[in-house]
Structure 1
Amino acid sequence: MAISETLSYLIMFNVIHFKQSWSSADPSPFMHHTIYSIFLVLAIFILAIRLFRETKTLFQKAIFIFFITTMMANLFLNVGRTGQLSFALALIIFLLIQFRLSILKTLIIIIPVLTTVFFLAFNFSTIFKNRTIETYRSIDHLITHRTAMSDSTGLRFMMWHTAYEIIREEPFFGVGIGDDIDALHKVLTTKKIQYQADIGNISDFHNSYIQITLYGGIVGLFLWLITIAVMFRQLDDNRDIKTIGSIMLALLTLYMFIGNFPVSYLTILFTLIIGITLKRPNKQMAL
């Protein structure tokens, strides 16, 4: 992450131009900016746990604080909005589990902290400001005019609205894996012709919960939610490990609202972290 972060800053300030895809407008060197934001958030809180829970020299503390600060800055200077929401969600979990605070005390701490962070990001990060305004305008246009704009937010609405029409026809068991795109084209040519030019060539619906419901209906979605709930319950009782596992699961559930899981980098990270943080069976169970 230190290497990725360094490259991100060098790309951001136009110091290096190694790949054609590297641009100061989207300074994520090795992966999509949404996935990179999740990696950043998890790295920030792993460092924070070690900073608060381990005895360190003044120099070591300075190094940890430096990287936490630069990663937070990188998170808000980068493209995308999921990373900022992920940070807020992870901070809540960190305070609840790591310091065992009540929900009220957590809110008392988190509201001024997040307000300050988002205010600074909005005023000093052009990318963050533009993306926030874009989202607001898109939602406002949708509410006011009852039509979606052809930006990232508007396109997602078109996809989800179309998916709703498909799910209405096969609500319990879905259309089956691989048949969702055929169902999409059928709806676009019969019920949602106005969306055809914008989303006619999509390969997924940019929402894992909708995608699962399309594949397996309400039954499939229910089984997936049960799986996530069981993993939450089976996290290790160690406070530090449980914090990391809870943050990873929370980041995954958040990402699934706007992306299709599994995706390569995130799948690897999720498997690694959950494999480490789930409870170990005792010797009797292992036998």
Structure 2
Amino acid sequence: MRDSAIQTSRRERIDLWINYLIVALGFTLPISIAVNNLLLALILLLWLAAGGFKERWERIKNNRAAIAILLFFAFHFIALTYSSDPKTGFLKIIGREQLLLFMPIILSVIRPEFIRRALSAFLYAMFISEILSYAMYFDLVHIPWHDYAKEPYPTPFVSHLSYSPMVAFAVILLIHRLVYGDEARNVKAIYFLFMITMSFNIFITGGRAGQIGFIVALVFYLIYQYRNQTRKMLFFLFAAISAIVLTFFFNNSFNHRMMQAYHDLQSFQHHRNTSVGLRLNFAINSWELIKEKPLFGYGTGSFAKEYKQINHKLTPNARATSQPHNFYVLTLVQFGTVGLTLLLYIFYSLFKIASETDDSYRGVRYTFLVLFLTIMFSDSYLLGHYTTLFFVFVTALLFGGRVERS
């Protein structure tokens, strides 16, 4: 009996350390791959050292989204057996998507009182990133680690593709805290200031997917939160849409990126080697692959090899690619409709959890899912380090139960 009590006490202390590491992970998430990986390694080692796997499994098993993620990841190994390029599948696809496994791990150990701390740590990191972003934009600082040749946009730590979705979600979190938070007025004033400046920051940092995702997510959040207050909903929608329209006309970067996309679409038939043209070409050619093997696809890691062949056959003058910049298309080519069903089941499970969790964060949960479902049309956001870990971090925190105490 005494030994059991000692073991429980030891596990609780280790779990406490893990929770502090999760908070630290929230802060480093949008800043450093190396530090992220170090923290994840420490979390995993402590999680294994703590024991209590029966209790942890019970918590994982009772979360349908965690099980859905495990099923989706397990299918990667099944699809490896019939892949035309298993080496790439193992090293580049499974090697990257193993981050998904940290969702059930974090979910199984996170304590309710640490969820808000971890989300706050993420917001603090985004505050720092935003300040540095503006400093870069106005040419006030030179970031020594930033590759200005490859990444011309003012994103201090990550690429513009990863940065804008994280800023978009940070804005939604700030709106939530302004409306539902119990902070003092001076703290809410700071939140309001950063909400405004972050909203503009999205449109100077180049990521079109994140920009469109932000617009969709913001409109969705306002409609959902004020669905029973029509006048408020219309007022906030008018204010938000007006601000976005003004930004389009007066922000050269945003205007240029949107107009460039429009012209790319217009000239698609004659000029496919443009940013939008290539994405359309990837999807069209990939559809020919999907029709050949619609059920199970070509296997994990097979996309680059299979696409190179179909691209050479159909559009030899257009550039080939290792991934189609659309996670749904990538999933269909690798895993067929079975794989796409498993992917969509993850989001279905997350939506179900959100609908069954009764606290003020329900709208934030829905909006996060809408944001991800939107941006995945434009790139493989569950394949890159930052955005996959971002997805894992938020789903583990917000979809494991109530954030607020009853």
CA distance in 2, matches of 1:41, 1:252: 11
Match of 1:39 in 2: 166
The one-character-per-residue Cα deviations of 1:255-283 (angstroms, maximum 9, x if unpaired) are 211111222111222111111222449xx
The one-character-per-residue Cα deviations of 1:100-139 (angstroms, maximum 9, x if unpaired) are 437x768744653343122221222111011011011111
The answer to whether structure 1 residue 9 and structure 2 residue 134 are counterparts is yes
Structure 2: runs of 5 or more not aligned? 1-125
Name the aligned partner's letter for residue 32 of structure 1.
Answer: S
The answer to whether structure 1 residue 234 and structure 2 residue 353 are counterparts is yes
Match of 2:339 in 1: 220
Residue pairs, 1:152-231, within 5 angstroms = 152-195=275-318, 198-199=319-320, 202-231=321-350
Match of 2:8 in 1: none
Match of 2:250 in 1: 124
The one-character-per-residue Cα deviations of 1:9-62 (angstroms, maximum 9, x if unpaired) are 011111111235147940011112122111111111111111111244332232
**Compared with structure 1, are the counterparts of its residues 227 and 158 closer, same or farther at alpha carbon in structure 2 (3 Å cutoff)?**
same
**Compared with structure 1, are the counterparts of its residues 194 and 6 closer, same or farther at alpha carbon in structure 2 (3 Å cutoff)?**
same
| One of 243, 255, 259 as aligned partner of 1:133 | 259
Larger Rg computed on CA atoms: 2
The one-character-per-residue Cα deviations of 1:163-218 (angstroms, maximum 9, x if unpaired) are 112112112211111222221122123232232xx22xx22111100000001112
Name the aligned partner's letter for residue 334 of structure 2.
Answer: Y
TM-score by length of 1: 0.86
Task: Work out whether residues 9 and 74 of structure 1, in 8 Å CA contact, stay in contact via their aligned partners in 2.
Answer: yes
The answer to whether structure 1 residue 69 and structure 2 residue 192 are counterparts is no
TM-score by length of 2: 0.62
SS at match of 1:220: helix
Instruction: Tell me the CA shift for residue 3 of structure 1.
Output: 0.7
Number of residue pairs matched by the alignment: 273
Residue pairs, 1:248-263, within 5 angstroms = 248-260=368-380, 261-263=382-384
Match of 1:247 in 2: 367
CA distance in 1, matches of 2:400, 2:186: 34
SS at match of 1:14: coil
Task: Work out whether residues 134 and 154 of structure 2, in 8 Å CA contact, stay in contact via their aligned partners in 1.
Answer: yes
SS at match of 1:234: helix
CA distance in 2, matches of 1:264, 1:209: 18
Name the aligned partner's letter for residue 192 of structure 1.
Answer: T
CA distance in 2, matches of 1:181, 1:34: 21
Over the matched positions of the two proteins, sequence identity in percent amounts to 27
Name the aligned partner's letter for residue 185 of structure 1.
Answer: K
Match of 2:179 in 1: 52
Instruction: Tell me the CA shift for residue 84 of structure 1.
Output: 2.3
Task: Work out whether residues 11 and 22 of structure 1, in 8 Å CA contact, stay in contact via their aligned partners in 2.
Answer: no
Name the aligned partner's letter for residue 172 of structure 2.
Answer: F
Query: Over aligned residue pairs, what C-alpha RMSD do you find?
Result: 2.3
SS at match of 1:175: coil
Name the aligned partner's letter for residue 159 of structure 1.
Answer: F
Name the aligned partner's letter for residue 258 of structure 1.
Answer: S
